[in-house]
Amino acid sequence: HVHRILGTRSPSEIPIVSDRLSFLPFSLPFSLPFSLPSSIFAGNRDEYLHRPTSRAHFWPAPHEFILAGTDLQYQKSGTWLGITTSGKFSTLTNFREQLAPDLESRGYLVRDFLESDAEVGPREYLEGLEKRKDRFGGFSLLCVDLARDHRNEEGRMWYYSNRQNTTVTSLNAGTVHGLSNSVLEAPWPKVQSGCEMMRSIIAETSDEEQLIEKLFTMLGSYAPFTDTTSIQTVTKEIESAIRVTCVGLILNKPYATRTSTVVLVDHEGTVTFLERNWFDSTLKELDEEERRTGEVGWRFKIGEEPRSAERIVRQK
């Protein structure tokens, strides 16, 4: 039983683009080779290049069981995608809309689920969130419990959006779903094409290393904007762009896909977490070799102590 997720993140400051992830096709097929991981997640983070961020790392005590990047824009740092050593995984997408000044950061939604007590599962967390949904701008949130018995998929993956009267929903196995900066039932073009790419990757791949590279290749898929001088054109074409190339039209700041992340979980509960940046600290765009060389990777087994996690140095 396999989960598939892909995503992109976009900014929250203005209504023309959206915050957090914006591309999340995922599926739970039943018949894959045992050589492939049982759960696979992949995503892009789109953001202003100057926005302060830390790369994926294990957080300091008392939350040393969380592996995630950190958005440093706010005092109480949130995140867009993360996983815990107990098997909780979460990520979110946001909506294009003007934000009221007194709303809480949506990055706290992922953080709070990852920090929640062990007895708080995806459904319980999202049902509690539903009661305070108006404290946040528009979002779609995915929460997963990877520690549940893999022979019983019911209750592992749950979805909720605080827009369009959406309710807390369990996502079933055996279907390819898609999520963008809208509700689950209204996918953007990038999600539709991404789902097709995902089906092809599943059908054509039987080796984990090949899978990793195919996922990163997919996350790098893009088409140049037809008119980079028009904010209306760029905003519309972002709906189809899996990777957003650097543009400076949004608040006159450079904005692009900054980070690609792949997370694999095998049949024994071993997690492989890989992150590649598209730009260095000077905002220079990196080539493929530089992205691979600068890859950040971690491996750990669900249920074990965080200190047992190992840094991954894969063959470049």
168-207 pLDDT, tens per residue?
999 876 676 777 788 888 888 888 888 889 888 988 988 8
Distance of alpha carbon 142 from alpha carbon 187, whole angstroms: 15
- What is the pTM assigned to this prediction? 0.88
Number of folded domains that form the chain? 1
For the ranges 5-19, 127-141, 224-238, 284-298, the lowest mean pLDDT is seen at: 5-19
C-alpha 311/C-alpha 297 separation (Å) is 6
Tell me what pLDDT residue 224 has.
Answer: 86
Cα–Cα distance for residue pair 259/278, rounded to 1 Å? 6
Q: Is 270 exposed, middle or buried (0-12, 13-18, 19+ CB in 10 A)?
A: middle
Instruction: Print the domain residue range for 189.
Output: 3-311
Contacts of residue 39, defined as CB under 8 A and 6 or more positions apart, other chains included, come to 2, 3, 144, 146, 263, 264, 265
Could you tell me the sign of the dihedral formed by the alpha carbons of 115, 117, 119, 120, in that order? negative
Question: Tell me, what's the pLDDT at 249?
Answer: 65
| Averaged pLDDT score across all residues of the chain | 83
Residue 62: is the preceding peptide bond cis (ω within 30°)?
Answer: yes
pLDDT band at 99 (very low <50, low <70, confident <90, very high): confident
**221 domain residue, yes or no:** yes
Q: Please indicate, yes or no, if residue 181 is contained in any of the structural domains.
A: yes
Structure tokens, 74: 């706010």
Query: Is residue 63, in this structure, part of any structural domain at all?
Result: yes
Is residue 173, in this structure, part of any structural domain at all? yes
Domain membership of residue 153 (yes or no) is yes
- Comparing 114 with 165, which gets the higher pLDDT? 114
pLDDT at residue 57 greater than cutoff 60: yes
Whether 150 has a pLDDT exceeding 90, the answer reads: no
Q: Decide if 316 is inside a domain.
A: no
**What does the chain look like in DSSP terms, one character per residue?**
--EEE---EE-SSSTTS--EE--EEEE--S---TTS-SEEEEEEEEEETTS-EEEEEEPPTT-TTEEEEEETTSSS-B-SEEEETTSEEEEEEE-SSPPPTTPBPTHHHHHHHHHS-TT--HHHHHHHHHTTGGGB-SEEEEEEETTS-TT--TTSEEEEESSTT---EEPPTT-EEEE-SS-TTS--HHHHHHHHHHHHHHHH---HHHHHHHHHHHHT-----S-TT-HHHHHHHTTT-SSPPPB--STTS-EEEEEEEEEEE-TT-EEEEEEEESB-TT-PBP-HHHHHHT-EEEEEETTS-GGG-EE-----
174 found inside a domain: yes
**For position 136, what pLDDT does the model report?**
93
Instruction: Assign residue 305 the CATH number of its domain.
Output: 3.60.60.10
Q: What is the pLDDT of residues 208-236, one digit of tens each?
A: 999 999 999 999 998 888 888 888 888 88
User: Could you identify the residue written with the tokens 């914006």?
Assistant: 22
On whether the CB atoms of residues 242 and 222 are closer than 8 A, the answer is: yes
